[in-house]
Chains A and B, each alone.
Chain A
Amino acid sequence: MYDGDMLDEIRKRQEEWERKIQDEQGNVKERKEAFTTLGEIPVKRLYTPLDLVDRDIDYLRDISFPGEYPFTRGIHPTMYRGRLWTIRQFMGFGDPRKSNERLKYLMNSGAPGLNVAFDLPTINGVGSDHPLARGEVGRDGVPVNSLEDMEQLFDGIPLGKVSTSLVIAYPPIPCMYIAVAEKQGFRPDQLRGTFQNDSICRDVGANVRVVPRRAELKLCVDVVEYANKHMPLWYPISIVGYQIREKGCTAAQEVAFNLSDGIEFVRAFIERGMDVDSFGPRLSFMWNAHNDFFEEIAKYRAARRIWARIMKEKFKARNPMSMQIRFHTQTSGVSLTAQQPLNNVVRVAVQGLAAVLGGTQSLHTNSMDEAMALPTEDSVKMAVRTQQILAHESGVTNTVDPMAGSYYVESLTKDLEDEAMAYMDKIAEIGGAIEAVETGYIQKEVTKAAYAYQNKVEKKQEIIVGVNDYMDDRDPNINLLEIDEEFERYMCAKIEELKDRRNRSDVEVSLDKLREAAFRDENLMEPTMEAVNSYATLREVWDVYKERYGSFNEKAHITGL
């Protein structure tokens, strides 16, 4: 990119510049001994064209053009000039009917992408009336115990006309969604949206484990195989790095662990007999948007470049769309503070901006009160407006990938890429992402990173405004969303009432068929669809799965402690 003579001149002038700012001992007075990114990547005082040359960064090979391999600059040629990212706010709480209202509220506020969180009893397949569900019903997401709840959740929302992300894995909930759509008159091939459906991230990132790991993988592949045939507009998996990042790993580790997760799934899909270019374009991803602004931007770019190469060279994809990371981003929950919650509005704006400069396809911005509770209507509106201000007032969407060519950003992109690749090689050596989790490798790395970060905070080497510096005594006096405990009793009663009303023999027949299919190791989507259509409860369906696969043995899980 630069000729030899010019580089020599730059080098000479830089050395002069350094000398001028040094004192007699050859030192430069700065605020810290050393500067690093949040992920501990060393950051220099200054980056110049020399840094690109040192890293052997070639524009055409490594940076290229948006919409062209290796997609460092983004997956669409016109990016936000063509179409802005989708505002897709994660939500879900309490009564399905209340969540239905909140979905409509968001749609009317200019946030059209639906993004549904399910509560812990639903995610864990136990249902609202299980002993472990005590205190949890409707608290972290919406409870769905049967098709009836799913019908209420999407009442009055034409599923063929919206794009919905369901943050859930395995067949039962997806089958309920498809069933509701069919009742509304929409075929599966008309539906647009995403199933998260990433068992590995849910395991190591969110500690959700229902049946043994390989069985969970099989159930995810069932969903993808079904969608591959019947849902051409749907993304049947979102390979998620958000959770593991929240657990405390670095940006480079987020890329490495998540893309290793992706590799595991691609292998499983190929093993199931699907062609890489048939499922490739329907893979989606999800990343975190954390605090270190430039590190995050570099992260998204590095991830795109790494994945493109993997899909092309390792998995021999031919369709460029199979090589692309199309992704959703959520700003970091763990970075929010309970102290001085208004500060979180600023944090989220900066994090959201990083995601936009990193080329995200859709974005969730956290609300300011989320360090304490699920967001109120007012605080979620603020989060939506944040995205709208970024989109319409900041000017950053006027050109594609504006950060390209920054000496710092391109250097950091390469540094992150190198570090991520080293972790990925290690995981490949261990035998892949699932093996790395079974042996505790990932957990240990994450716990180590989380502990090291906490230490830095406690020693004030990392400042968190309002928490270890700039503190005040004021109690945050803000209205919080509360979940009514009566509600848990109501949901349990609802299950009983449904069981009385429904046709018991239809349910039993469908569960028998599901059981047979499970023991024959067939794809469980269609038998599950039949079961949910007969109003089998979520727990009844999972109990059949557990008959076949057994329950996950939680005591055997390696924590990384």
Chain B
Amino acid sequence: MSDENIRVLVGKIGLDGHDRGGLIIAQALKNAGMEVIYTGLKNTSEGVVEIAIQEDVDIIGISILSGAHLVLMPILIDELKKNNADDIPVIVGGVIPPGDIPKLKAMNVREVFPAGSLVEETVACIRRLVKEGRKKTIAS
């Protein structure tokens, strides 16, 4: 399976204006040959889910540096469920205190990349999660 088939949504939710991390990830994914849909800023959680569904993405990556992750991620996960799109894996990166990581994973966020995470870890994780997801689809 080549990276060229992978469609990744890199999303920003809420009023958070910090996009350095999200843009770097987006660039790295593009350089790896993946299709990247960058949502830009100032989206609601519902808005991001809409884009994800419209663009038929394989995985949703959210970048949050405002500290609002525990409020905004449940809304996004819920919105995916409501739209029968909760098979799309979701990962989050940003300013996330270590204590919040288990809380995010408990709400079905597959992986969390706090400050200091390396880009290559994120890229590798995306490949892995998309591959797993596709295996499941074939099996079912």
Taking Cβ atoms with an 8 Å cutoff, the residues of A that contact B are: 120-121, 123-124, 126, 131-136, 139-140, 206-208, 246-248, 334, 336-339, 371-374, 447, 450-451, 454, 457-458, 464, 466-468, 475-476, 480, 483, 485, 554-555, 557, 559-561
A131 touching B44 in the complex, CB below 8 Å, given contacts A450-B20, A559-B38: yes
Which of B77-85, B95-103, B132-140 makes up part of the contact surface? B95-103
Residue in A124, A337, A454, A559 whose beta carbon sits within 8 Å of that of B115 in the complex: A337
User: Per a CB cutoff under 8 Å, which of B15, B17, B20, B67 touches A373?
Assistant: B67
* Given A134-B72, A139-B66, residue A207 in contact with residue B17 (CB < 8 A): yes
Is there an interface contact between B23 and A447, defined as CB atoms closer than 8 Å? Answer: yes
> Is B42 located at the chain interface by the 8 A CB criterion?
yes
Q: How far is the CB of A308 from chain B (nearest CB, A)?
A: 32
How close is A281's CB to chain B, nearest CB, in angstroms? 31
Shortest CB-to-CB span from A379 to chain B, Å, is 13
How distant is the Cα of A372 from the Cα of B15 in the complex, in angstroms? 18
The contact sample of 8 A-B pairs, CB cut-off 8 A, is A120-B17, A135-B68, A135-B71, A206-B17, A208-B17, A485-B70, A557-B40, A557-B41
Partner of A139, one of B27, B28, B68, B98: B68
Q: Which of B1-56 contact A (CB under 8 A)?
A: 14-20, 23-24, 26-28, 30, 38, 40-42, 44
Q: Is the CB of A468 within 8 A of B118?
A: yes
Bound CA span A71–B22, Å: 39
Given the interface pairs A450-B20, A480-B97, the reply to whether A485 lies near B71 with Cβ below 8 Å is yes
Most-contacted residue by chain B among A134, A468, A483, A554 (CB, 10 A): A134
B118 engages A134 (CB within 8 Å): no
- Asked whether A133 and B27 contact (CB < 8 A) given A139-B66, A458-B119, A485-B71, the answer is no
Contacts of B71 in A (CB 8 A): 134-135, 485
Cβ distance B112 to chain A, nearest Cβ, rounded Å = 12
Q: Which of B28, B40, B99, B119 contacts A480 (CB 8 A)?
A: B99
The reply to whether B38 and A140 form a contact with Cβ atoms under 8 Å apart is: no
Query: Could you tell me if B120 and A458 are in contact, using CB atoms closer than 8 angstroms?
Result: yes
Chain B positions within 8 Å of A480 at CB level? 97, 99
- CB–CB A561/B38 < 8 A: yes
Q: Tell which of A135, A246, A468 has the most Cβ of chain B within 10 Å.
A: A135
Residues of chain B contacted by A126 (CB below 8 angstroms): 15
User: Which B59-113 residues have C-beta < 8 A from chain A?
Assistant: 66-72, 75, 95-99
Judge whether A120 and B23 touch: CB under 8 Å: no
B13 nearest CB across to chain A (Å): 8
Nearest A residue to B36 via CB reads: A561
Q: Which residue of B lies closest to A464 (CB)?
A: B116
CB pair B42–A248 under 8 Å, yes or no, is no
* Measured CA separation A21–B23 after assembly (Å): 45
Q: Are A454 and B119 in contact (CB under 8 A)?
A: yes
Q: Is the CB of A133 within 8 A of B15?
A: yes
B23 touches A139 (CB 8 A): no
Residues of A within 8 A of B98 (CB): 338, 372, 475-476
- Would A559 and B40 count as touching, CB distance under 8 A? yes
Residue of B with least CB distance to A475? B98
B67 touches A140 (CB 8 A): yes
Q: How far is the CA of A127 from the CA of B118 in the complex (A)?
A: 35
Measured between beta carbons, the chain B residues less than 8 angstroms from A247 are: 20
Residues of B within 8 Å of A373, CB to CB, are: 67, 95, 97
Residues from chain A with a CB closer than 8 A to the CB of B115 are 336-338, 371-372
Residues of A within 8 A of B18 (CB): 206-207
Given contacts A373-B97, A561-B27, 15 further A-B contacts (CB under 8 A): A132-B42, A139-B66, A139-B68, A206-B17, A371-B95, A371-B115, A372-B98, A373-B95, A374-B67, A451-B23, A454-B28, A457-B118, A468-B118, A475-B98, A561-B23
Would B119 and A207 count as touching, CB distance under 8 A? no
Instruction: Give the residues in chain B near A561, CB-CB below 8 Å.
Output: 23, 26-27, 30, 38
- Counting chain A CB atoms within 10 Å of each CB, the highest count among B15, B30, B96, B115 belongs to B15
Residues B15 and A132 in contact, CB atoms below 8 Å apart: yes
Q: A131-B44, A136-B14, A451-B27 are in contact. Are A246 and B20 (CB under 8 A)?
A: yes
Collect the chain A residues with CB atoms within 8 Å of residue B114's CB.
338, 372
Interface pairs A-B: 5 shortest CB-CB: A135-B71, A135-B68, A207-B17, A120-B15, A338-B115
| A451 CB → nearest B CB, Å | 5
- Using Cβ atoms and an 8 Å threshold, which residues of chain A touch B75? 134
Contact A339 B19 (CB under 8 A): no
Question: Considering the chains assembled together, what is the distance between the CA atoms of A374 and B69 in angstroms?
Answer: 15
The answer to whether A447 and B40 have CB atoms under 8 Å apart is: no
State how many angstroms separate the Cβ of B98 from the closest Cβ of chain A. Answer: 5
Q: Which of B71, B114, B119, B120 has the most CB of A within 10 A?
A: B71
A337 with B116: in contact, given A131-B44, A454-B24 (CB under 8 Å)? Answer: yes
In whole angstroms, how far apart are the Cα atoms of A124 and B15 in the complex?
8
Chain B residues, Cβ within 8 Å of A483: 67
Known: A132-B15, A132-B42, A475-B98. A560 touches B20 (CB 8 A): no
Chain B, Cβ-Cβ closest to A559: B23
Distance to closest chain A CB from B74 (angstroms): 10
Q: Cα distance A554–B23 when bound, in Å?
A: 16
Residue in A closest to B74 when the chains form the complex, CB atoms? A135
Min CB distance A98 to B, Å, is 16
Residue numbers in A under 8 Å from B16 (CB-CB): 120, 136
The answer for the CA separation of A475 and B102 in the assembled complex, in Å, is 13
A552 (CB) vs chain B CBs: closest residue:
B42
Nearest A residue to B17, CB-CB: A207
Q: Which residue of B lies closest to A554 (CB)?
A: B42
Cβ of A185 to closest chain B Cβ, rounded Å: 36
Determine if A132 and B14 form an interchain contact, defined as CB atoms under 8 angstroms apart. yes
| Set of chain A residues within 8 Å of B42, measured between Cβ atoms | 132, 554
Which residues in B have their C-beta under 8 angstroms from that of A339?
A: 116
Shortest C-beta distance, A134 to chain B (Å), equals: 6
- Which residue of A is nearest B99, CB measured? A480
Rounded to whole Å, the gap between the CB of A467 and the closest CB of chain B is 5
* Bound-complex Cα distance A120 to B68 (A): 11
In angstroms, Cα B132 to Cα A366, docked, is: 42
Min Cβ gap B126→A in Å is: 16
Task: Give the complex CA separation of A450 and B114 in angstroms.
Answer: 18
- Tell me which residues across on chain A come within 8 A of B20, comparing CB atoms: 246-248, 334, 450
Question: In the assembly, what is the distance between CA of A402 and CA of B43, in Å?
Answer: 49
